[in-house]
Structure 1
């Protein structure tokens, strides 16, 4: 039996090493980074190992050689010089007022000032930070390593609140500006976060920052690659397969479908989400672990605010500039959704520099779509999963009347901010419902101006549906026959239903459905 203790939720390198937790060795890449540059920025989705990377760098700069026994850097590093480290973690606070950020930074500075002294002339947060860097370097006789974890937490929490966002931006911009002014006293600096607020904002003064988020050579610095799974968890893979009563090959395929698929640049290997992966190994169960640890309400707000067509999400196209930066006033929800890890790079058109995006894996796709349902349809969070179960059951037994009545209830009482977005609203609700049903049955879904056609297949039945907006159900059915949608299924033994459905603008709901079987 495997005796590995998985460090789930543990982000402290020292604790992992001292208490015998399982650790995948990232120190060769860390060493390369330290030796070839001095200012870095890395963005990765949450729970991807950024805090652990910062903690590993901290132990390294503190010269804690004993923690690195048996790891790659032990052979690479000859000197083990001890440097002073200034470590800021912005992760722990709730940022809802301008003061909340100032208090947090003030608290950090006060701690350092106790150790390294303060100057009465240093009034602002930024000048105090500059003074600390200078004095630390002088007193310790070594340049300083500065590590900032989740640098963007305040900005993310203020998405949608322009005034607060601006206040945070000004504070952070000045604060991080100290890195530029004290360059001579700094040995190394690294900032990590989920998103990258564009250069004009927080980092405009830091033009010497190497953003390695999309560099191929650093793809493996956070997360877990296929190679690392096989090098570190081979025996555990076999145990996992036995526990699931499946073959080793099948298990590897399922792990890949559920948790792999993060591509942080266009020609790179896929990375697995470490949080979900280790949870799955620990429990020998597949679950939506990452999704359950923090649901992105701010993303849904963005999607709704910008009347986003959800069907586009799975094949969105964009360029590097959009992917790489978020304006706080951004009207495009895509960069935030990409950087938060809900979409990833699926393909790249080199000629035009266009990236094709999509969901990284099943965990994210299913989790995200499920999460959206109560925000779009008239159903609460608790009932949501049961509703989908009932939909699937009704389709499987051929009870289409109950199915459509349930669908009607999803549209009931929906408030429409803008009537002209009504059509998009129907499309989004239908997309979510049929996407969720599609995790259990076979669904093909297409939209084009004012109509939606859909094919649903179960073991016993085939449903061909045409939805019309402000036409009639009869016209919709006529269209199925005219366009001969049923042709591919003529030789099929299953029972076929053709269904025309009409939406009414007046009642803002499904008005009627007619069926021909």
Structure 2
């Protein structure tokens, strides 16, 4: 039997269908969004989540390519297959540009479309060229135009932390998008995708009738692969992977879920898997950090530094609904960016008090993000840090928590001092990151119990370690706090052995763990 083809890095619907690549059917969503009220729509989803493929699918649909949709849901829904002129403008390659280069890039996109439709225009301003192109194409074809803009915010993301550069690029993009409102009589459908929302872009401030479908329940599964789609449309893929790894189907589903599932872009929502990682896993035949390996979130790390975001604060926190629509350049905390970028996701919603619960979605994101943050807390090579953590994980698996702490103590003795290591918050966050990177275990920080909050809780297959970290006092006091507050009672029903660990950390002379008591 021929090896199944997975469209890794292929974002063109036509190529996927013609080459018989694996395709998860999203055409019912395409039909729905193109037959609903409104003309202008915006969708925010993390990078490599299928936004480009969605727009390519829309392009083929509006061009009337009925042959490409054979056997898909839309084949039974669409009866007319009317053809419209389509302009697909991708900003994906407009990264790391100054204002002048961005202007040239926009003119290049427009020139390409002008040649496709046989339109001539020598205006030097992109906004004038776009307005002329839309009107001329509509008049020439006799049909209203479809405009699809992919990654509209790509030119701005890398400078989101730099207001002076952001302002220049934002002005260029504002002028470029401005004709869309005035061209309304010539347009059939306008759809933009991106990661973030920049409020001062005309597309959001002037085009006030644009519908943001990012958190609409009916479109919760429009990008990504839902649990139901995985279990039905990709059932054979699960069995094939299980066979390659010599594990059961159930174990395979559990591993796929813990690594790549967990996304919810509204509430309630189906479970959504990261499509890039899921398809890469099936293609490679092994579990890996595929999505995180495709790009370091530089702008996110910069914003976390700007807002003083602590790694431990991302484990579980709460936000009102207003937080999700906050503009990127005027946001007062990092919540919108963390959510829109896919580093945290919705895990629950309390309608009575209008609060969403947010957490890191899965193992792949947790490990990748904390690896990226580790250099901010250790003035040493990352490789040795990760080797130490890996050895610690092995010791804990063997039940040797004492050995794990001795190894960590020895490692920290070799870490060069830096300016920010004289206060306890630095070491508290470092300890959290170290334990969070013990990837085989479940780690929670400041877990709430009836009597207070535990500093760090580590759960293995058969043990639960409750850890209390003390700075400037003794390990005995740390252990006493665990006992006095009866933290262990919160875990008594888990059926696992509970181990209490009191830890003393000296931030002044030793700058290291000085003593720990395991009981």
Q: Is the 8 A contact 1:343 1:358 kept in 2?
A: yes
The CA deviation at 1:275 is: 0.9
TM-score (norm 1): 0.88
Distance 1:255 1:346 in 2: 18
Separation of aligned partners in 2, 1:127 and 1:463: 64
- Cα distance in 1 for partners of 2:414, 2:395 equals 15
Q: Is the 8 A contact 1:84 1:140 kept in 2?
A: yes
- Of 470-479 and 57-66, the range deviating more from structure 2: 470-479
Q: 244-253 or 4-13, which moves further after superposition? A: 244-253
TM-score (norm 2): 0.88
Q: 1:384-411: CA deviations, max 9, x gaps?
A: 321211333455543343332323445x
Within a 5 Å distance, the mapping from 1:356-367 to structure 2 comes to: 356-367=357-368
In 1, Cα distance between equivalents of 2:497 and 2:33: 60
Give the unaligned 5+ runs of structure 1: none
Task: From the superposition, tell whether residues 361 and 415 of structure 1 become closer, same or farther in structure 2 (CA, over 3 Å).
Answer: same
Stretch deviating more after TM superposition (95-104 or 472-481)? 472-481
Partner-residue secondary structure (3-state), 1:203: helix
Residue 410 of structure 2 corresponds to residue 405 of structure 1: yes
Match of 2:39 in 1: 38
The equivalent of 1:6 in structure 2 is 6
Unaligned stretches of 5+ residues in structure 2:
none
- Deviation of residue 165 (structure 1)? 1.1
In the other structure, the counterpart of 1:326 is: 327
Length, aligned pairs only: 507
How far 1:306 moved relative to its partner?
Answer: 1.7
Aligned to 1:470: 472
Q: Is the 8 A contact 2:177 2:202 kept in 1?
A: no
Q: Secondary structure at the match of 1:91?
A: coil
Aligned partners of 1:353, 1:497: CA distance in 2, in Å? 37
Matches within 5 A, 1:259-270: 259-270=260-271
CA shift digits 1:120-150 (9 cap, x unpaired): 6x44321221111111111111111101000
CA distance in 1, matches of 2:498, 2:356: 42
Deviations 1:206-234 (A, max 9, x none): 11111111111112221111221232222
**CA shift at 1:481, angstroms?**
6.9
Secondary structure of the residue aligned to 1:281 is helix
The alpha-carbon distance between structure 1 residues 498 and 156, as it changes in their structure 2 partners (threshold 3 A), is closer
Q: 1:389, 1:472 → 2: CA distance?
A: 28
Name the counterpart of 1:220: 221
- 2-structure distance, mates of 1:31, 1:454: 48
**Superimposed CA distance per residue, residues 84-118 of structure 1 (whole angstroms, 9 cap, x where no aligned partner):** 11111110233341223212111112233444444
In the TM superposition, what is the alpha-carbon distance from 1:279 to its structure 2 partner?
1.4
Distance in 2 separating the partners of 1:494 and 1:351:
38
Contact 1:326 1:336 in 2 (8 A): no
Q: Which residue of 2 aligns with 1:29?
A: 29
Task: Report the equivalent of 1:503.
Answer: 506
Instruction: Give the 3-state SS of the residue equivalent to 2:418 in structure 1.
Output: coil
Where does residue 162 of structure 1 map in the other structure?
163
What is the root-mean-square deviation in Å for CA atoms of aligned residues? 3.1
Q: Residues 157-306 of structure 1 correspond to what in structure 2 (within 5 A)?
A: 157-198=158-199, 202-306=203-307
